[in-house]
Amino acid sequence: MAMPSKVRIFEVGARDGLQNEKQMVPSDIKVELIERLVDAGVRSIETGSFVSPKWVPQMADTADVMAKISRRDDVTYAVLTPNMKGYEGALASKADEIEIFSAASEMFNQRNINCSIAESLERFAPVTEAATAAGIPYRASISCALGSPFDGEEITPAAVADVAKKLYDMGAYEISLGDTIGVGTPLRTKAVIEAVAKVIPLEAVGVHFHDTYGQALANYLAALEMGVSRLDSSVAGLGGCPYAPGATGNVATEDVVYMLDGMGIDSGIDLKKLVRTAWFISDYLGRPPVSSVARALKGKLD
């Protein structure tokens, strides 16, 4: 299968990337991060989540962030909505789209949202029905699609495909396959995508890889070779997962864009502006980016 000539990068740094930071990041810094990403060419961006501040205090200001950002008609501003209360927050903030999520791991689902996979899908039904009625598009993600963080639990490609089909049938325009703990390898990636593409259209398949074992870019290449053109990534490699022991951050957007540029695949993103953005948020957090590209290009930005 031919690789795509163009991809859509869904930038998750402002939500998935920042949500687990121990130091509180002010709304104005989040807004500047989002504005810088948009200026760099990002056209699909996760701006926050409407979840209980008790569980994710870093996202308590999502409504404020949504109110302060400069909206552009050619940019999609998305928020995570785990329930109807979250959906109502998304509606009030005029989010362009919402996100729902489940997992291919029963144990992870219990740790993450305290219910089974089947129960999680039932919980999301009112949200998806309301979004459909309001004409708000929604995407869905599947955590642990390439492996479980818990010993003894096997995640089969067929199990991932089953969850993907159910989410797609609920009306999600995109199903993002998440390697939550970064254990996937290229052949495993291809096997899971192949299984999922048998039950939903390939153009609806997205991927979201963590770089715990240094395999993320190889896995993105494997996905591209399968024809996948929807990629999630996080500026500066921000993020991790509090419910997955040992999980480190998302793959850095600038590393992905550097690879795509070298392959002649259009992402629409200006690499130098993106690297400056990676250093902006990293400097605020008081640590260098984990991104190899951000560190390599730091002295070549001017």
Nearest to 33 by CA among 1, 6, 73, 61: 61
The helix-helix angle for 216-225 and 186-197 (nearest 10°) equals 40
Residue length, the chain?
302
**Count of Cβ atoms closer than 10 Å to residue 288 Cβ:** 14
User: Looking at residues 181-204, what average pLDDT do you find?
Assistant: 97
End-to-end, the C-alpha distance of the chain in Å comes to 39
Whether residue 45 contacts residue 34, with contact meaning beta carbons closer than 8 Å, is answered with yes
DSSP secondary structure code for residue 204 in this structure: G
Q: Which residues are catalytic?
A: 241
Position 302 scores a pLDDT of: 65
For the stretch 115-160, pLDDT in tens is 888 988 998 999 999 999 999 999 999 999 999 888 778 999 999 9
For the stretch 11-34, pLDDT in tens is 999 999 999 898 999 999 999 999
Rg (CA), the chain: 18
Q: Note the pTM of the prediction, 2 decimals.
A: 0.94
Q: Which amino acid type is present at position 65?
A: V
